[in-house]
Amino acid sequence: MSDGANGNGSGAPPRRRVLVVGLDAATFDLILPWVDAGVLPTLGRLIREGVHAPLRSTLPALTPPGWTSAATGRNPGKHNVFNFYRGRAGGLQPTPVTPGDLRSPRVWDIVAQHGLKSIVLRMPLTYPPQESVGVMVSGIMTPKGTEDFVAPASLKSTLEARIPRYRMEVDAENLRQGDLDTFRADAFDLQRVQTEEALHCLRHADWDLCWVMSHTLDKLQHFFWRYMDRTHPAYPGPGPYEDTIRDFHIAFDQALARYLEAVPPGTNVVLLSDHGSAPLHTYFCVMNWLADARFLALRDEGAARRGLAAMGVDAKALVRRLKSVGLGWVPRLVPRALKGQVPQAMSSFNKIAGRIDWSRTRAYCPSAPGSGLWVNLKGREPEGIVSPGAEYERVIAELRERLLAYRDPKTGEPVVSAVHRREDIYRGPHAEGGPDLLVETARTVCMIEGLGRKSLMAAGKGPEERTGNHARDGILVAYGPDVRRGETLPTRAIEDVAPTVLYLMGLPIDADMDGVVLTDALRPERLAAQPIAVNAEPYALPDAGSFRYSADDEQRIQDMLEGLGYV
Ligand SMILES: [Zn+2]
């Protein structure tokens, strides 16, 4: 750490700075063996000289709810971010979540209410950037092509002048074209940009909290997993991509070392991921399964199925076939289908919603990344047919039983590992925004909401297909003067991050936070000197009025998500 001043020079108590470093989708399954092999020396030092624990994510284990729970200390039933999309789709086109949907303040909002300063870099749901917290650079869920993603606005020209090819995001078009070389080079180069950006802010901004996040690893793990993993069914043999994911960890480790040098002595450090990662072997096309199991009906089913049967065989033939049977959504598919992108193009609910016969549908999945199934409930869904009460309970029970009994015919293994009712997972005033049932798939299975050729499809047929999956457990590492040394803790909850960061900063926590201060990570002398303080009045939510998104903004967020293969 540098020789920078620890106090503020006025004789006031020293500032209790915290550096939070986010590495989206990081997993100890990969990191610990690489630490043991000596290729990640900085992470190794933090683990040896600090504490570490698996960090249990939200359900679904997804970027927007995961990071929001980390930063608010609450479950989605309180903070209201369940998915990339807003609450219940109700059979209509989903719209992306925005910061205006948040119902709980995030750590940097709280820090600002204490008159302290934050640097918040590349966190999800931070567009438009809020100058009121200090420095903010917007992260994922920012409309594609946005230019005003830095606050204060004048900082952007400084960063552009100092950092070659300064920019917001990777170019998803490379992925769309199946150009993995350019996509990889772009991703590594963006990490260089983000590292220089963070170092500039750490050195030049006034800060008490710095929360810097990198989303790039999540993208790389989704698309490069099979090249690394010799046990993956789509492993192509040794080749130029096999070390991509390891090399990104090395680049991150080097960035982390520079952050640690740049922060003043006395800074505590918290490193986390929002969820982990695992191999993805099989897509579970849940809408196919729902149709086969007679929970869902499609209009023109025969035509749709004939068209779908051609999928994955020949994209051009499929387009001809679909055109010949007159399916309305063909024009949207054509440009990508010609590039051989049919399976992903069909994975979005938006593209099949018009095909659903709601008068014969009892359950559906509006967004598989949200892991949820909705009952087509009378009085809630626009064309609901299932009555609340006994009939609803029967549908829930039947869905649960049949999902848990479902086996992959090739392996005999269960496809679904757990099915939860909404009320068993979400607590709080916005819990109704979650789906009726939350489905946890087996580790190597990823649920998608589109129609496939059949209910289970092998992943990794094309270069643009994901072969890395999200896993529930991410990572937590804490290190610094107030942190115990060299301890491995049992699994902790992602909601524990916000209260722990507030405690380390010497600030009170809110009474309705679901997370707790991780006292077993902290030194006894610090705990003795600073009892945990709980607010009598909860912290205020920032004014949501500044977060109105236009229809064009929403479409550009949708474009961003589609570009990354999320929908
Ligand atoms: Zn994530």
Query: Domain residues of the chain, as ranges?
Result: 18-279+471-563, 282-312+344-458
Helices 301-309 & 315-325 angle (0-180, nearest 10): 170
* Structural contact between residues 383 and 299, judged by C-beta atoms closer than 8 angstroms: no
Residue 210, phi then psi, degrees to nearest 5: -120, 120
Q: Is 340 left (phi over 0), alpha (psi -120 to 50) or beta?
A: left
Q: Which of 286, 221, 109, 192 lies closest to 474 in space, CA to CA?
A: 221
| Average pLDDT for 329-353 | 43
Chain-wide mean pLDDT for the chain?
A: 87
Distance 113 CA to ligand 1 centre (A): 28
Given a cut of 80, whether residue 308 has pLDDT beyond it is: no
pLDDT tens, 98-125? 899 999 999 999 999 999 999 999 999 9
Distance 64 CA to ligand 1 centre (A): 7
Distance 275 CA to ligand 1 centre (A): 6
Given a cut of 90, whether residue 161 has pLDDT beyond it is: yes
Name residue 91's amino acid.
G
Given a cut of 70, whether residue 346 has pLDDT beyond it is: no
378: which 2 tokens? Answer: 């009378």
Distance 448 CA to ligand 1 centre (A): 17
Distance 375 CA to ligand 1 centre (A): 27
Cα–chain center distance at 38: 29
282 vs 448 pLDDT, higher one = 282
Would you place residue 206 in the very low, low, confident or very high pLDDT band (cuts 50, 70, 90)? very high
| CA gap 318, 300 in Å, rounded | 17
Would you place residue 477 in the very low, low, confident or very high pLDDT band (cuts 50, 70, 90)? very high
Residue 526, phi then psi, degrees to nearest 5: -65, -45
Distance 475 CA to ligand 1 centre (A): 12
The pTM for the full model equals: 0.90
The CATH topology of domain 18-279+471-563 is Alkaline Phosphatase, subunit A (3.40.720)
Given a cut of 80, whether residue 310 has pLDDT beyond it is: no
Would you place residue 231 in the very low, low, confident or very high pLDDT band (cuts 50, 70, 90)? very high
| CA gap 532, 462 in Å, rounded | 52
Residues in CB range of 313: below 8 A, 6 or more apart: none
Would you place residue 144 in the very low, low, confident or very high pLDDT band (cuts 50, 70, 90)? confident
Distance 350 CA to ligand 1 centre (A): 22
Given a cut of 50, whether residue 327 has pLDDT beyond it is: no
Distance 219 CA to ligand 1 centre (A): 9
* Structural contact between residues 462 and 341, judged by C-beta atoms closer than 8 angstroms: yes
* Structural contact between residues 141 and 98, judged by C-beta atoms closer than 8 angstroms: yes
pLDDT tens, 397-408? 999 999 999 999
| CA gap 313, 130 in Å, rounded | 49
The CATH topology of domain 282-312+344-458 is Gyrase A; domain 2 (3.30.1360)
Distance 480 CA to ligand 1 centre (A): 25
| CA gap 476, 490 in Å, rounded | 11
516: which 2 tokens? Answer: 């707790």
361: which 2 tokens? Answer: 């549908």
Distance 228 CA to ligand 1 centre (A): 20
Please give the share of the chain, as a percent, with pLDDT higher than 90.
72
Q: Is 273 left (phi over 0), alpha (psi -120 to 50) or beta?
A: beta
Would you place residue 87 in the very low, low, confident or very high pLDDT band (cuts 50, 70, 90)? low
Distance 512 CA to ligand 1 centre (A): 25
Given a cut of 90, whether residue 450 has pLDDT beyond it is: no
Distance 81 CA to ligand 1 centre (A): 14
* Structural contact between residues 68 and 286, judged by C-beta atoms closer than 8 angstroms: no
Distance 443 CA to ligand 1 centre (A): 16
Would you place residue 249 in the very low, low, confident or very high pLDDT band (cuts 50, 70, 90)? very high
Bridge partners of 61? none
Tell me what pLDDT residue 548 has.
72
Q: What is the DSSP string of 484-536?
A: -SSEEPPPEEGGGHHHHHHHHTT-PBPTT-SS---GGGB-HHHHHHSPPPB-S
Of 80-89, 502-511, 532-541, the poorest mean pLDDT is in 80-89
* Structural contact between residues 353 and 360, judged by C-beta atoms closer than 8 angstroms: no
Tell me what pLDDT residue 311 has.
41
Distance 136 CA to ligand 1 centre (A): 19
Tell me what pLDDT residue 567 has.
53
Tell me what pLDDT residue 497 has.
98
Distance 327 CA to ligand 1 centre (A): 35
CA atoms within 13 A on the CB side of 198: 30
324 vs 431 pLDDT, higher one = 431
Given a cut of 60, whether residue 8 has pLDDT beyond it is: no
| Average pLDDT for 44-63 | 97
Distance 565 CA to ligand 1 centre (A): 13
Would you place residue 355 in the very low, low, confident or very high pLDDT band (cuts 50, 70, 90)? confident
Distance 446 CA to ligand 1 centre (A): 15
Instruction: Provide the edge-to-edge strand list for the sheet that holds 456-458.
Output: 445-448, 282-285, 456-458
| Average pLDDT for 490-496 | 98
Q: Which of 384, 383, 365 lies closest to 373 in space, CA to CA?
A: 365
Please give the share of the chain, as a percent, with pLDDT higher than 70.
86
Residues in CB range of 262: below 8 A, 6 or more apart: 2, 199, 202, 203
Distance 299 CA to ligand 1 centre (A): 35
| CA gap 225, 243 in Å, rounded | 10
Given a cut of 80, whether residue 47 has pLDDT beyond it is: yes
Distance 330 CA to ligand 1 centre (A): 31
344 vs 38 pLDDT, higher one = 38
Tell the burial category of 405 from Cβ atoms under 10 Å away from its Cβ (0-12, 13-18, 19+).
exposed
Would you place residue 354 in the very low, low, confident or very high pLDDT band (cuts 50, 70, 90)? confident
Residues in CB range of 283: below 8 A, 6 or more apart: 343, 445, 446, 447, 448, 452, 456, 457, 458, 459
In 10 A of CB 525, how many CB atoms?
Answer: 9
Of 142-156, 213-227, 378-392, 549-563, the poorest mean pLDDT is in 549-563
Given a cut of 60, whether residue 49 has pLDDT beyond it is: yes
The answer to whether 18-279+471-563 and 282-312+344-458 have equal CATH topology is: no
Tell me what pLDDT residue 174 has.
87
Tell me what pLDDT residue 461 has.
83
62: which 2 tokens? Answer: 């997804």
Tell me what pLDDT residue 506 has.
97
| CA gap 229, 243 in Å, rounded | 10
Tell me what pLDDT residue 90 has.
56
